[in-house]
């Protein structure tokens, strides 16, 4: 199906077709133009042709939810909190897997009922191939935050919605889910993206601890007030100092590009100390941050090293560790 043969629709469809025909090459930095091109040329979709996303069978949905049960468990509370923060009854907070299947959704019953005819519900597939340009599907392709305003959607029937979406990464640095806010409002996409990014970080930090219950945990930042907050770097380590996993803040602060690169190192490759010594120093400080220098002496971090939870009594930890997650209220 060629692009020329598709020119029979209304204003929205003409805008998309003209952009792809005349401007896609000139707007290679435009995520929407690239997405529209994929929808037309790869997925053979048409903006005005009625199309509802497919829905996975109930048994397959249950399998997908079970496969990401720990991610959903880490996300459930954070999604509810985000929904309350948005204070928008005509919105939904959504979690999908990496195929774009909606696994969990938080919204008002009225909004959920209104968008169900569009195929917006748990079990529906919102990949670009199924739903055209949209927050969840386009975020999966871009692997980065995406805001899709009303007219940015590929399908005309979705232009009443605004979607903002961010990727969620697992402790190995692989994208494991997409977190999305979909609303009838065309305002505050950047505000939504900021809140979504913070929520994704909280989910990732929870997931790191959940997937490494027997690991030593290292909390660190170049500024002491940011330890035990959303902004801290976090590493999971074996008792011998071998690094198992880390969050995005850890990569940024250490100047590394991937978790794979991080896993090639041991703690003493990064800090001028050994894990056992650092844990003992932290015990003496009642698990408040202590100073540690980079292995090359060029940087200084404020660090807390915690032994596995099975070895540490809750009474030993600072209040910040046992209270609510920073930034969730």
pLDDT tens track for 74-99: 999 999 999 999 988 899 999 999 99
pLDDT at 319 > cutoff 50: no
More confident position, 281 or 17: 281
Position 87 scores a pLDDT of 87
Q: Do domains 58-209 and 213-322 have the same CATH topology?
A: yes
Mean pLDDT for the stretch of residues 160-184: 95
**CATH number for the domain whose boundaries are 58-209:** 3.30.450.40
If one counts every other C-beta atom within 10 angstroms of the C-beta of residue 298, the result is 7
**What average pLDDT does the structure give for the chain?**
87
pLDDT tens for 177-211 read: 999 999 987 665 668 889 999 999 999 999 999 99
Q: How far apart are CA 211 and CA 215, in angstroms?
A: 9
For residue 325, pLDDT over 50 is answered with no
Q: How far apart are CA 199 and CA 94, in angstroms?
A: 12
As a whole number of angstroms, the distance between CA 120 and CA 136 comes to 11
Q: In what order do the strands lie in the sheet with 102-107?
A: 102-107, 91-96, 175-183, 162-169, 146-148
Q: How far apart are the first and last CA of the chain?
A: 50
Instruction: Please give the pLDDT value at position 256.
Output: 93
Alpha-carbon distance of 65 to 101, in angstroms, equals 10
- Hey, which residues does 102 pair with through a beta bridge? 96
Nearest to 51 by CA among 104, 13, 14: 13
Q: Per-residue pLDDT averaged across 101-115, rounded?
A: 96
For residue 213, give Cα distances in angstroms to 244, 253, 304.
12, 24, 17
Contacts of 59 (CB under 8 A, 6+ apart): none
The pLDDT tens digits of the residues spanning 115-152 come to: 999 999 999 999 999 999 999 999 999 999 999 999 89
3-state secondary structure of 185: coil
Q: Of 14-23, 67-76, 166-175, 193-202, which range is least confident?
A: 14-23
pLDDT-derived band at 24 (thresholds 50, 70, 90) equals low
* Cα distance between residue 92 and residue 109, in whole Å: 10
List, as one string, the DSSP characters of 73-88.
HHHHHHHHHHHHHHT-
Across residues 52-63, what is the average pLDDT? 95
- Give residue-wise pLDDT tens across range 5-19: 344 347 888 888 888
Question: Spelled out in words, what is the top-level CATH class assigned to the domain 213-322?
Answer: alpha beta
> What percentage of residues in the chain have a pLDDT greater than 90?
72
CA distances 239 to 46, 244, 286, Å, are 56, 11, 20
The pLDDT confidence band at residue 294, using thresholds 50, 70 and 90, is: confident
- Backbone dihedral angles phi then psi of residue 168, each to the nearest 5 degrees: -115, 125
Q: How far apart are CA 17 and CA 97, in angstroms?
A: 30
Give the tokens for residue 123.
């079990």
Residue 102, phi then psi, degrees to nearest 5:
-70, 120
Alpha-carbon span 129 to 112, nearest angstrom: 23
pLDDT attached to residue 186? 62
Structure tokens at 119: 């195929």
pLDDT at 310: 73
Q: Bridge partners of 55?
A: 124
pLDDT given for residue 8 in this prediction: 38
Decide if pLDDT at 265 tops 60: yes
DSSP state of 150: G
Q: What is the mean pLDDT of residues 241-257?
A: 94
Confidence of residue 214 (pLDDT cuts 50, 70, 90): very high
Residue ranges of the domains in the chain?
4-42, 58-209, 213-322
Taking residues 208-230, report their average pLDDT. Answer: 95
CA atoms within 13 A on the CB side of 140: 23
Planar angle of CA 67, 323, 96, nearest 5 degrees = 25
- DSSP for 11-23 reads HHHHHHHHIIIII
């Amino acid at each position: 199906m060629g692009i020329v043969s598709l020119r029979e629709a209304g204003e929205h469809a003409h805008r998309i077709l003209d952009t792809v025909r005349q401007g896609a090459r000139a707007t290679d930095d435009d995520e929407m133009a690239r997405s529209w091109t994929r929808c037309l040329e790869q997925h053979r979709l048409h903006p005005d042709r009625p199309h509802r996303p497919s829905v996975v069978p109930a048994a397959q949905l249950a399998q997908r939810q079970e496969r990401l049960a720990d991610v959903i468990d880490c996300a459930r509370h954070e999604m509810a909190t985000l929904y309350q923060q948005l204070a928008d009854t005509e919105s939904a907070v959504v979690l999908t897997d990496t195929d774009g299947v909606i696994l969990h959704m938080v919204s008002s019953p009225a909004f959920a009922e209104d968008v169900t005819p569009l195929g917006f519900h748990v079990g529906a597939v919102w990949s670009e191939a199924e739903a055209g340009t949209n927050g969840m599907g386009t975020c999966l392709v871009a692997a980065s935050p995406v805001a899709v305003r009303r007219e940015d959607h590929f399908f005309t029937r979705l232009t009443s919605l605004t979607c903002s979406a961010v990727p969620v990464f697992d402790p190995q640095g692989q994208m494991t889910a997409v977190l999305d806010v979909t609303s009838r409002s065309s305002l505050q996409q950047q505000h939504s993206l900021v809140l979504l990014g913070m929520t994704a970080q909280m989910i990732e930090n929870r997931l790191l601890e959940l997937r490494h219950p027997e690991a030593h945990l290292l909390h660190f930042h170049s500024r002491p007030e940011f330890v035990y907050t959303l902004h801290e770097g976090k590493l999971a380590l074996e008792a011998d100092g071998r690094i198992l996993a880390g969050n995005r803040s850890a990569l940024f602060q250490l100047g590394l590009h991937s978790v794979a690169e991080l896993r090639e190192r041991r703690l003493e490759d990064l800090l001028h100390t050994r894990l056992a010594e650092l844990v003992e120093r932290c015990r003496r400080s009642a698990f408040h941050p202590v100073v540690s220098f980079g292995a090359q002496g060029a940087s200084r971090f404020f660090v807390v090293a915690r032994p596995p939870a099975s070895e540490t009594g809750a009474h030993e930890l600072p209040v910040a560790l046992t209270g609510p997650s920073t930034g969730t209220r």
